[in-house]
Chain A
Amino acid sequence: MQYIPNIIFVIALIAGIGYFTKNIRKVIRNIRLGKDVDRTDNKKERLNNMMMIAFGQSKMVRRPIAGILHVVVYVGFVIINIEVLEIIIDGILGTHRIFAFLGGLYDFLIGSFEILALLVLVSVLIFWIRRNVVNIRRFKTLKGWPKNDGNIILYFEVVLMTLFLTMNAADLQLQNLGAEHYIKAGSYPVSQFISPLFNGMSEGALILLERGAWWMHIVGILIFLNYLYFSKHLHILLAFPNTYYGDLKPKGQMDNLEAVTKEVMLMMDPNADPFAAPAEDEAETEPEKFGASDVTDLNWVQLLNSYTCTECGRCTSECPANQTGKKLSPRKIMMDTRDRLQEVGDNIDKNGSFVDDGKQLLNDYITQEELWACTSCNACVEACPVSISPLSIILDMRRYLVMEQSAAPSDLNNMMSNIENNGAPWPFNQMDRLNWNKE
């Protein structure tokens, strides 16, 4: 009988981690629906980017208030996880505070977890106020699920930190009472002030409180872990691969479509035989589609970008089109891409393989009006704290509109036919190009 808590704990742990693993495998499967793009180069620079941008939060702190608060929550999250390790070992072995043998170091660790927990609570409170009370446009514009999602994560943090401190406060009382198992260990700079609330409680009640908080804390963490998949919050994991695989080229450089290069080189080759039959292996293959109308036309890095986005809205707040009232919002581009990708993934789960649902990313999620409002200024790319490029998706979708649908705004069609006919975006004769010198 005495092993029942251990068994329940192990079952909860396996279930929690198992379900999370199942869902993460879906995320990976969905990301792999994207086209291949080679990001195996410059490993050192990539690693450096990951360490600076994701691990070191270098771009977060460009906005000091949100940045520093985020660093507090991030550091708290990472470091308090050492405590979770102890909880897991205690849970499996039925021990209590197994790391207590570390002595002074243990006191220091527990003490710093407590201070971090308090700082996290304060930061999360400020985050909540920023999201719900202060008039910050990038949060005000979130409605429905994305808004609730952001708040739910904050509530999670509050509950987890409160449980952690309650657990310690009750433990401290028990230590002072000299209760069995509750060895004197750890220092409690924060919970020592909560502890007096429990003065006069019986040992049994205190044990119930301590155990209750302990269990709810670890179960809460497992629920939080599994909530990630259903929320915008996967960035706590995906920020690392996303910054690693981010684009290293200058921001102004847009990739040259290889499929187009092949066609152009063929056209420019005076020795090419225009009547040549396609090669044996080419004859049956469908010609490659230019640009993107759905998520499967995007590359896997763009899809990873969409799962990494945590909807902070820095991109949209920097976007010149959005600031001047246009429909374009780079954040929405990323959210739409993820929503559609999730829909495609669910379709595959249900049917075994993708069955046409009569929908696509273009028009059903992202309208042409949004796409044509982009000035390609790279403000969104510069603003993203985790190296997401909404611009690359916008460009790929424009490519589809222009090259597959001939659906550019008529002004742009005029500009392009001018370039084709006379080598300038305006209707001037190429032979007049040096006339400025004669005026």
Chain B
Amino acid sequence: MSEAVKVPTMAEYMAEGKRPEVLFWVGCAGSFDDRAKKITKAFVKLLHSAKVDFAVLGTEESCTGDPAKRSGNEFLFQMQAVTNIEVLNAYEIKKVVTACPHCFNTLKNEYPALGGDYDVMHHTQFLKSLLDEGRLKVEGGKFKGKRITFHDPCYLGRANNVYEAPRDLLRKLEVELIEMKRCKRNGLCCGAGGAQMFKEPEPGNKDVNIERTEDALETKPDIIAAGCPFCNTMMTDGVKSKEKEDSIDVMDVAELIANAQDL
């Protein structure tokens, strides 16, 4: 990452006696997955460009416990949750933004009952609010007029009824936003949720990500936009298996905005 972009940690802020406006919860995919790291960096660039005073937990961050909970390991989930809540509460965190809908859902909905009550936003919601406040400039740039279809992440869409924030951002990019036949509350899963990301699928006649990629390809897109690192992986794999990776990109909404401005 270029020198200009600094990513402060909560520990550093604490040492200086400062509090950031918002905590950026990077998540496991955003921290470790090579593809998702690019999303993390793009989002950080946008935060800087909008002059958002943010910090990350860095080495003090740990898995939210989402995949453990969906697998049925409530015990491990709650151990993770309670530990994370101790860290977050010690830093007196009020507002959290994350680029992962699974972290978003867990932090927002499942932490409060365990003592962790924060104002949690998905990065597309946060970027939309920056846009509305006039802090972030989103304009066409190189994606103007491109055919883009948005794949709704289940844990952002159906799970939490957030459908418009990512679409509003894409419209601002002056792209040609085309909906798949199954979208919004009828959107089809990419196949990664419920901890499926970490296991082989059960026997069947097709992989879920292929089915979903076919939905996307029907719209003849230049780009498939995603809002989740796991959806991104699944759709990227799907595009590859259809041998379309040379003509179709799978990109996160944050990457699209950052790239449009050549950040």
Chain A interface residues (CB < 8 Å from chain B): 249-254, 256-257, 260-261, 263-265, 267-268, 290-291, 318, 320-321, 323-328, 369, 372-379, 381-382, 395, 397-403, 408-409, 411-412, 414-416, 419-420, 423-426, 428, 430-439
Contacts A268-B83, A324-B206, A431-B59 known; list 5 others, CB within 8 Å. Answer: A249-B109, A377-B188, A379-B154, A436-B41, A437-B7
Chain B interface residues (CB < 8 Å from chain A): 1, 7, 9, 26, 28, 30-33, 37, 40-41, 56, 58-59, 61-63, 65, 67-76, 78-80, 82-83, 86, 105, 108-110, 113-114, 154-155, 158-161, 185-186, 188-189, 191-208, 210-212
| Alpha-carbon distance A438/B41, docked complex (angstroms) | 11
Closest CB in chain A relative to B107 CB, distance in Å: 11
Contacts of A426 in B (CB 8 A): 28, 32-33
Task: State whether A434 touches B63 (Cβ < 8 A).
Answer: no
Task: State whether B72 touches A256 (Cβ < 8 A).
Answer: no
Task: State whether A411 touches B158 (Cβ < 8 A).
Answer: no
Contacts of A328 in B (CB 8 A): 202
| Alpha-carbon distance A430/B63, docked complex (angstroms) | 10
A252-B160, A264-B78, A408-B72 known; A419-B199 Cβ under 8 A: no
A252-B109, A252-B160, A256-B74 known; A433-B31 Cβ under 8 A: yes
A252-B159, A318-B186, A324-B211 known; A400-B72 Cβ under 8 A: yes
Contacts of B28 in A (CB 8 A): 423-426, 428
Select from chain A the residue with minimum beta-carbon distance to B115. Answer: A265
| Alpha-carbon distance A435/B158, docked complex (angstroms) | 33
Task: State whether A257 touches B191 (Cβ < 8 A).
Answer: no
Contacts of B185 in A (CB 8 A): 382
Contacts of B197 in A (CB 8 A): 425
17 A-B pairs (CB sep. < 8 Å): A253-B110, A260-B78, A264-B82, A268-B82, A268-B86, A320-B191, A376-B154, A378-B159, A382-B158, A409-B199, A409-B200, A412-B195, A419-B76, A426-B32, A433-B32, A433-B59, A436-B32
A375-B191, A378-B154, A425-B28 known; A436-B37 Cβ under 8 A: yes
Task: State whether A411 touches B109 (Cβ < 8 A).
Answer: no
| Alpha-carbon distance A377/B188, docked complex (angstroms) | 8
Contacts of B205 in A (CB 8 A): 324-325
Contacts of B198 in A (CB 8 A): 411-412, 414-415, 425
Contacts of A374 in B (CB 8 A): 194
Task: State whether A324 touches B110 (Cβ < 8 A).
Answer: no
Task: State whether B206 touches A325 (Cβ < 8 A).
Answer: yes
Task: State whether B199 touches A372 (Cβ < 8 A).
Answer: yes
Contacts of A251 in B (CB 8 A): 158-160
A260-B78, A433-B26 known; A250-B160 Cβ under 8 A: yes
Other-chain contact of A320, B65, B108, B211 (Cβ < 8 Å): B211
| Alpha-carbon distance A414/B200, docked complex (angstroms) | 12
Other-chain contact of A434, B59, B78, B86, B113 (Cβ < 8 Å): B59
Which 7 pairs of residues, A with B, have the shortest CB-CB distance? Answer: A252-B159, A398-B72, A376-B194, A423-B62, A325-B205, A325-B204, A253-B109
* Residue of A249, A327, A424 contacting most chain B CB atoms (<10 Å): A424
Contacts of A414 in B (CB 8 A): 198
Select from chain A the residue with minimum beta-carbon distance to B84. Answer: A423
A411-B198, A436-B41 known; A375-B208 Cβ under 8 A: yes
| Alpha-carbon distance A369/B202, docked complex (angstroms) | 7
A376-B194, A403-B73, A430-B62 known; A436-B68 Cβ under 8 A: no
| Alpha-carbon distance A261/B81, docked complex (angstroms) | 10
